[in-house]
């Protein structure tokens, strides 16, 4: 987590960096800071809170002119979020300045050693230790900044994306990466460079970017090509300049009040983009290069293990139902954070599917590395093109949802399910576990989903009315069965994340094994009761809630009459094949959380304590 950014060139660096930090706030927003070099002195401003607070402070505290600078937005790991712990951090002499995303695990031992050499520390951060270690090496070994950074990084254990500035060499910035992402935007004729955790801060300035790989560093100098080298061996590597596909419109709110609402409404488009070129209904085929090229691996797999975190894990749970039903391949779904540490049994006959919106989640990345080490074939389902997970996996399929900026995941979830459904169908066909008529019917059904989502989004006003009645609730229960059990989990997660109301998701039938004790006339229960999914059983569960005076909000199929008579509120979804129903049932739950959160005055796009990209374990 944390976002870092930097600029060196001919423009005023301040607006470039501040704007960039605002775009990176999804990575953390506990505190923010900026360093500018005005040609003479280092100007440093940093503060607890958001980038907007930083802007206020910077106005009065520093001169904001200068053509070189670095900035940071923080998600606290070591040290509480306060002004002192905010980045950038200065070295003891005040000459070196650093911003860091990651964790230096052996910082304590290094700090003790540096204290014996006379260093004192102002903050509780691991980052201040790193900048002083660099300074100590630079002075003691009498080397330039780049070399000192390299030596220091060979001594630290942990993860980092860093940008370091030296007042004595103000025409360069040194960057390095291990475990956390870093992109370098390359300006025309190398006259300017942008540094950022992802490309969004510099998209309006250049489409050319270099993504550093793990254990690589670069010394960035105006007017010169970027030399990328290995931190360990010092070997120069090809600095592969890629053309960015991102555009400015994709990362702006486009008239919506919040990114989350925009992203909810983008789902018909996002799902269509995810199909594009893959679902060829007229030809009756699904084409996915990553699957075709590795078909043998999938067909010979003893089982599929899905690893993911958060919302992506919920998409994995939906996929478990779909893969087992369609392709008859046993599936296990694991929290990446548990999987990586429990010595799992993995063999060469296992296929591991890693799901991640950001492609940067540290636990998912570590789970992939473990699975690879043990010989499994690893397939990635990521949204962010070129992300660490996309690069680390043997093959994969992108979700094409476009940038997701709201911290609570919405369109990433539905497009993950879309990719996984396409995969399951393709494998079912290849294995012969689905008849060709069924296969064609499913292709048609899937292709209709974007239109149905579009139609379903019209329930927004109705859901908003329902939200008004429950905005003061303190607890909420979400129930679903089969394909919609994971949707219940996801609905509860959305509400928790953005409205801070405690919510639990349960398989509907499990309600009587505990949660039923919680039901009284103040407990809203959201039940997914679509017509094809164990409908009668879910109706019985609804009756059980009603007899205990619980308030029922039911998601039903249009035309339903039975549940309508019992429930306090119903939200209708279009008729849909049960296996694809999560793509619809999840939409009203996203809207419900959204409206409740807005009415409770919560920060929908940047909920407290959370971050979009969790690059620490
Ligand atoms: C964070 C985000 C969630 C996301 C999870 C996994 O917790 O706030 O929205 O589901 O990380 O992220 P990933 O990028 O791997 O899907």
CA distance 74 to 100: 9
One DSSP character per residue, 322-379 reads HHHHHH---EEEEEHHHHTTS-----TTEEEEEEESSS--HHHHHHHHHHHHTT-EEE
**Active-site residue (options: 2, 309, 382, 476):** 2
Q: What is the pLDDT of residue 423?
A: 98
Q: What is the pLDDT of residue 232?
A: 95
Q: Are residues 411 and 349 in the same domain?
A: yes
Q: Determine whether the shortest distance from the Cβ of 389 to ligand 1 is under 6 A.
A: no
Q: What is the CATH number of the domain that holds 96?
A: 3.60.20.10
Instruction: Report the separation in Å between the CA atom of 416 and the middle of ligand 1, taken as the mean of its atom positions.
Output: 12
Q: Are residues 91 and 120 in the same domain?
A: yes
Instruction: Report the separation in Å between the CA atom of 365 and the middle of ligand 1, taken as the mean of its atom positions.
Output: 13
Q: Are residues 269 and 229 in the same domain?
A: no
Q: What is the pLDDT of residue 512?
A: 85
Angular region, 49: left φ>0, alpha ψ -120 to 50, beta rest:
left
Ligand 1: which residue has its CA nearest to atom 4?
310
Q: What is the pLDDT of residue 386?
A: 82
CA distance 427 to 351: 13
Query: Is there a domain that residue 161 lies in?
Result: yes
Q: Determine whether the shortest distance from the Cβ of 311 to ligand 1 is under 6 A.
A: yes
Instruction: Report the separation in Å between the CA atom of 613 and the middle of ligand 1, taken as the mean of its atom positions.
Output: 6
Please give the C-alpha separations between residue 223 and each of 40, 171, 456, in angstroms, as whole numbers: 21, 10, 53
Widest pairwise Cα distance in the chain: 81
Best residue among 612, 615, 616, 617 to mutate for probing ligand 1, ranked by most atoms within 8 Å of CB: 612
Boundary-marking domain end, from 434, 468, 499: 434
| Nearest-atom index, ligand 1, CA of 412 | 16
Q: What is the CATH number of the domain that holds 408?
A: 3.40.50.10490
Three-state DSSP class for residue 74? strand
Q: Determine whether the shortest distance from the Cβ of 380 to ligand 1 is under 6 A.
A: no
Query: Is there a domain that residue 327 lies in?
Result: yes
Q: Say if residue 88 is preceded by a cis peptide, omega within 30 of 0.
A: yes
Instruction: Report the separation in Å between the CA atom of 178 and the middle of ligand 1, taken as the mean of its atom positions.
Output: 20
452 is catalytic: no
Q: Determine whether the shortest distance from the Cβ of 607 to ligand 1 is under 6 A.
A: no
| Nearest-atom index, ligand 1, CA of 407 | 8
Tell me which residue of 61, 49, 54, 65 sits closest to 19, measured CA to CA: 54
Query: Between β-strands 395-398 and 377-382, what pairing exists: parallel, antiparallel or unpaired?
Result: parallel
Q: Determine whether the shortest distance from the Cβ of 606 to ligand 1 is under 6 A.
A: no
Q: Determine whether the shortest distance from the Cβ of 361 to ligand 1 is under 6 A.
A: yes
Query: Cβ neighbours of residue 59 under 8 Å, at least 6 residues apart?
Result: none
Query: Is there a domain that residue 583 lies in?
Result: yes
Q: Are residues 291 and 382 in the same domain?
A: yes
Q: Determine whether the shortest distance from the Cβ of 336 to ligand 1 is under 6 A.
A: no
Q: Determine whether the shortest distance from the Cβ of 409 to ligand 1 is under 6 A.
A: yes
Instruction: Report the separation in Å between the CA atom of 491 and the middle of ligand 1, taken as the mean of its atom positions.
Output: 15
Q: Are residues 92 and 230 in the same domain?
A: yes
Instruction: Report the separation in Å between the CA atom of 610 and the middle of ligand 1, taken as the mean of its atom positions.
Output: 9
Instruction: Report the separation in Å between the CA atom of 7 and the middle of ligand 1, taken as the mean of its atom positions.
Output: 28
Q: What is the pLDDT of residue 542?
A: 93
Give the pLDDT means over successive 10-residue stretches in the chain (617 positions).
93 97 89 96 95 94 95 84 92 97 93 97 95 98 97 95 97 94 95 95 96 95 93 92 86 90 97 94 90 96 97 98 97 96 93 96 95 97 90 95 93 98 97 95 96 97 97 96 97 97 94 88 95 88 92 96 95 96 98 98 91 79
Best residue among 26, 260, 353, 357 to mutate for probing ligand 1, ranked by most atoms within 8 Å of CB: 357
Q: Are residues 41 and 156 in the same domain?
A: yes
Query: Is there a domain that residue 439 lies in?
Result: no
Q: Determine whether the shortest distance from the Cβ of 411 to ligand 1 is under 6 A.
A: no
Q: Are residues 358 and 506 in the same domain?
A: no
Q: Determine whether the shortest distance from the Cβ of 312 to ligand 1 is under 6 A.
A: yes
Q: Are residues 392 and 462 in the same domain?
A: no
Tell me which residue of 338, 326, 372, 368 sits closest to 577, measured CA to CA: 326
Query: Is there a domain that residue 250 lies in?
Result: no
Query: Is there a domain that residue 155 lies in?
Result: yes
Please give the C-alpha separations between residue 188 and each of 69, 192, 208, 222, in angstroms, as whole numbers: 19, 7, 9, 11
Q: What is the pLDDT of residue 82?
A: 87
CA distance 191 to 303: 52
The CB-side HSE value for 142 (13 A sphere, CA atoms) comes to 0
Query: How many structural domains comprise the chain?
Result: 3
Q: Determine whether the shortest distance from the Cβ of 310 to ligand 1 is under 6 A.
A: yes
Q: Are 414 and 402 in contact (CB under 8 A)?
A: no
Q: What is the pLDDT of residue 610?
A: 87
Q: Are residues 429 and 473 in the same domain?
A: no
Best residue among 614, 616, 617 to mutate for probing ligand 1, ranked by most atoms within 8 Å of CB: 614
Instruction: Report the separation in Å between the CA atom of 407 and the middle of ligand 1, taken as the mean of its atom positions.
Output: 8
Q: Are residues 169 and 61 in the same domain?
A: yes
Total-model pTM: 0.84
CA distance 202 to 186: 9
Residue holding tokens 């942008």?
A: 194
Q: Determine whether the shortest distance from the Cβ of 615 to ligand 1 is under 6 A.
A: no
CA distance 510 to 517: 12
Ligand 1: which residue has its CA nearest to atom 15?
356
Q: Determine whether the shortest distance from the Cβ of 388 to ligand 1 is under 6 A.
A: no
**Residue 269 buriedness (CB in 10 A; 0-12 / 13-18 / 19+):** middle
**Active-site residue (options: 50, 111, 411, 612):** 612
Residue holding tokens 């919609």?
A: 484
Q: Determine whether the shortest distance from the Cβ of 186 to ligand 1 is under 6 A.
A: no
Query: Is there a domain that residue 281 lies in?
Result: yes
Which tokens sit at 67?
């053509």
CA distance 556 to 330: 30
612 is catalytic: yes
Boundary-marking domain end, from 182, 211, 245: 245
- Please report the sign of the dihedral spanned by the C-alpha atoms of residue 356, residue 362, residue 363, residue 364: positive
Q: Note down the domain range covering 353.
A: 256-434
Ligand 1: which residue has its CA nearest to atom 3?
310
Instruction: Report the separation in Å between the CA atom of 409 and the middle of ligand 1, taken as the mean of its atom positions.
Output: 7
Q: Determine whether the shortest distance from the Cβ of 401 to ligand 1 is under 6 A.
A: no
Query: Is there a domain that residue 405 lies in?
Result: yes
CA distance 563 to 467: 19
Three-state DSSP class for residue 588? helix
| Nearest-atom index, ligand 1, CA of 308 | 15
Q: Are residues 381 and 469 in the same domain?
A: no
Q: Are residues 461 and 411 in the same domain?
A: no
Instruction: Report the separation in Å between the CA atom of 367 and the middle of ligand 1, taken as the mean of its atom positions.
Output: 15
Three-state DSSP class for residue 504? strand
């Amino acid at each position: 987590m944390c976002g870092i950014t930097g600029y060196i060139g001919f423009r005023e660096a301040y607006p470039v960096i501040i704007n960039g930090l605002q775009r990176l706030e999804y990575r953390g927003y506990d505190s923010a800071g900026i360093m500018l070099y005005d040609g003479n002195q280092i100007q440093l401003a940093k503060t607890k809170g958001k980038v907007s607070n930083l802007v206020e402070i910077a106005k009065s505290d520093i001169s904001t002119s200068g053509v070189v600078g670095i900035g940071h937005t923080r998600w606290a790991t070591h040290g509480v979020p306060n002004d002192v712990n905010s980045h950038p951090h200065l070295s003891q002499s005040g000459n070196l300045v650093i911003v860091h995303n990651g964790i230096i695990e052996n910082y304590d031992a290094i700090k003790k050693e540096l204290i014996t050499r006379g260093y004192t520390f102002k903050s509780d951060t691991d980052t201040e230790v790193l900048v002083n270690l660099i300074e100590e090496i630079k002075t003691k070994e009498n080397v330039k900044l780049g070399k000192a950074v390299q030596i220091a990084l060979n001594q630290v254990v942990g993860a980092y994306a860093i940008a370091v500035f030296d007042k004595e060499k103000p025409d360069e910035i040194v960057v390095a990466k291990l475990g956390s992402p870093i992109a370098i935007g390359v300006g025309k004729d190398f006259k300017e460079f942008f540094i950022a955790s992802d490309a969004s801060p510099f998209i309006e300035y250049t489409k050319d970017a270099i993504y550093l790989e793990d254990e690589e560093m670069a010394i960035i100098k105006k007017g010169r090509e970027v030399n990328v080298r290995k931190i360990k061996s010092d070997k120069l590597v090809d600095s592969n300049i890629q053309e960015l596909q991102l555009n400015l419109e994709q990362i702006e709110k486009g008239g919506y009040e919040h990114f989350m609402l925009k992203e909810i409404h983008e789902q018909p488009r996002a799902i269509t983009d995810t199909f594009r070129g893959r679902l060829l209904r007229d030809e009756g085929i699904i084409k996915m290069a990553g699957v075709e090229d590795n078909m043998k691996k999938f067909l010979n797999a003893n089982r599929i293990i899905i690893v993911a975190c958060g919302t992506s894990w919920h998409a994995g749970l939906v996929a478990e139902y779909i893969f087992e039903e369609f392709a008859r391949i046993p599936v296990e779904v694991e929290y990446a954070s548990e999987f990586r540490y429990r010595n799992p049994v993995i063999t060469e006959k296992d296929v591991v599917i890693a799901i991640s919106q950001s492609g940067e989640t540290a636990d998912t990345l570590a789970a992939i590395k473990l699975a690879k080490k043990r010989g499994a074939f690893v397939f990635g389902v990521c949204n962010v093109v070129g992300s660490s997970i996309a690069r680390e996996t043997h093959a994969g399929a992108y979700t094409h949802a476009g940038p997701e900026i709201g911290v609570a995941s919405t369109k990433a979830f539905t497009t993950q399910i879309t990719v996984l459904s396409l995969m399951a169908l393709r494998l079912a066909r290849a294995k012969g576990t689905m008849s060709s008529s069924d296969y064609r019917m499913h292709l048609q059904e899937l292709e209709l989903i974007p239109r149905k989502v579009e139609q379903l989004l019209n329930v927004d006003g109705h859901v908003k009315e329902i939200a008004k009645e429950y905005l003061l609730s303190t607890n909420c229960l979400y129930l679903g069965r089969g394909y919609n059990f994971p949707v219940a989990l996801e609905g509860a997660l959305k509400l928790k994340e953005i409205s801070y109301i405690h919510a639990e998701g349960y398989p509907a039938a499990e309600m009587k094994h505990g949660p039923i004790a919680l039901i009284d006339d103040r407990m809203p229960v959201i039940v997914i009761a679509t017509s094809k999914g164990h409908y009668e059983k879910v109706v019985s569960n609804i009756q059980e809630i009603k007899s205990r005076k619980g308030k029922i909000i039911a998601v039903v199929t249009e035309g339903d009459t039975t549940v309508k008579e019992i429930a306090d509120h119903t939200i209708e979804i279009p008729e849909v094949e049960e296996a694809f129903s999560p793509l619809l049932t999840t939409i009203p739950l996203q809207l419900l959380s959204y409206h409740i959160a807005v009415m409770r005055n919560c920060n929908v796009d940047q909920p407290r304590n959370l971050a979009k990209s969790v690059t620490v374990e």
